Structure 1
Amino acid sequence: MSNIKDCRVLCGIDEAGRGPLAGDLVIAGCVLNSPVEGLNDSKKLSAKKREFLFEEIVKNSNFHIVKISPKSIDADGLSLCIKRGLLEIVKNMPDCEYLFDGNSNFGVSQIETMIKADGKVVEVSAASILAKVTHDRDILREAKKYPEYQFEKHKGYGTALHVEMIKKYGYCKIHRRSYKLKALEARLF
């Protein structure tokens, strides 16, 4: 007789930047080595709190962050890019149980899913923060290269301001050209 339980640790996985018109998609996997106080869905935290927690998570976890470029998203589609990112996390963080926020594992059989896991499971909350802070830091760096788009105000999302800037200046290198908007259909870039 044995009382040995599966001792594998939980790797929480979440993404940031799935919906923006510009910038990388970021997927993070995170295994917490010690507790981090204050974790929650990154969207429910202030930017200042996310930045603080990002540093705490980095100090208290093993993690892997995948960045997928707009060019890759345009060439291969969002779903395939997410699948590749998930496979990269599984490869780089072996011997874990994997929980991805949402309702699809994009065909990666090792990964379980849970809707709103980023607000329910601390490992997924940590991954959510890692992904969001990485995405936002990157887009703010790009804002300095492309000040006319005012990325610092909308983080690449399809706000009215962003759409107006695209209408005025066209697409730049970090835009996802495969994302179609009715407001831009009449104009080809």
Structure 2
Amino acid sequence: MKKVILAITLTLGLAACKGSSEVKNAVRDNGTERKKLACAEVHVDMNTTHIDWYEENKSVLNASSEILVLPKNYKIYGVDTSQLSSFFAAIQSGNTVSTVLPLPAPAGCQLFTLNNNVKNGAKIPQGMIIAAGECNGQKATFNYYRESLAAHIDWFDIQYEMMTVRAKGLPYIVVYEKMPPPPDPNKNQQQDKPEIIELRYDK
């Protein structure tokens, strides 16, 4: 009997450490729907302020009225706008908050801690929230303005970016690895101009 009780207790404990389930009711501006939760394997206390990320198909951007300039490789995530707003409002109020970020490989899902990063005397647009994040010694910066999120993440030798695009009025977060600019094809073709030295002889 004791072994059975111990087994049940252990099972419940492991379930509590797992975090949220993979499928969850996602609250969107157009209603509630069942969505697959990204990074469900990373434990986040559901009772604390955080951001849930919902995996989306790239086809959702076909309905966008914006002119989109997208990287070659990227992923799309849906977010709850009210949850996103509450998250950054907590940061603006001086709270320290944590949330998982769904980064591409090799970083993967990482739990970042964020704080307000607005410098004293800094002139920023009213309503803009700037935050700094950290995870395992790696840094990130976040900009939240008019329900749009932009982020830059330095993960060891890799840089990741997040930007917000809209389709049918709903925000979607594009996450991708920032690639270095292509090499200048004309750089190696430039020939050095010969140096002209003028010699004068006094008669």
TM-score by length of 1: 0.25
Select the structure of larger CA radius of gyration. Answer: 2
Please identify which structure carries the higher helix content: 1
Please identify which structure carries the higher strand content: 2
TM-score by length of 2: 0.24
**Structure of greater relative contact order (alpha carbons < 8 Å, 6+ residues apart):** 1
